[in-house]
Structure 1
Amino acid sequence: MIARVLIATFALAALAGCADREQTATGVKSDQPSFAGTGAPAPYALADWKQGDKASWEQQLRARTQRQNEYVRVNQQ
């Protein structure tokens, strides 16, 4: 009896995976690179970054990463 319940449970769990809906990002242009920006002025964006400039985008990411690096934060003079 327990075996039948377990088999039925596993069968239902397997079928539940078949009902998964397609996940899409609606309203987001996924073909645009991140450094391109949104085109709208962003009050929270740093002044050094210019939308569409890949070099300044990468420089900002490096700077942000260094501020999150615990070794650099602890050993700053």
Structure 2
Amino acid sequence: MSTRTGFFVMCVLALSACSEPSQELTSDSSQGKPEYAGTGSNFVAPGWTQGDKASWTSELKKRTQLGQNEYNKIH
């Protein structure tokens, strides 16, 4: 094996380790169960009722404003 071929093989192996994992949506909606239905666990966010779409939407809005809004984190 020549030096050039060995270098090419090493580059291919190095770049294959940098591949990004699949970001395919893996929610329960593919099984006919909506996301807001919950899992039946008792460990849920306070204020959210499992199976209630309105409380699910409200909790998502609150989480977005409190946890993912950089302006609120800084000020």
Q: TM-score, normalised by structure 1?
A: 0.53
Unaligned runs of 5+ in 2: 18-25
- Structure 1 residue runs of 4 or more that deviate by more than 4 Å after TM superposition: none
Separation (CA, whole Å) in 1 of partners of 2:52 and 2:70: 28
Matches within 5 A, 1:1-77: 1-9=2-10, 13=13, 30=28, 31=31, 32-42=33-43, 44-46=44-46, 48-68=47-67, 69-73=69-73, 74=75
2-structure distance, mates of 1:4, 1:51: 58
Q: Structure 1: give runs of 5+ residues left out of the alignment.
A: 18-27
* CA RMSD of superposed structures (Å): 2.9
Q: 1:59 to 1:29 in 2, by over 3 A?
A: closer
Higher CA-based Rg: 1
State the identity as a percent: 36
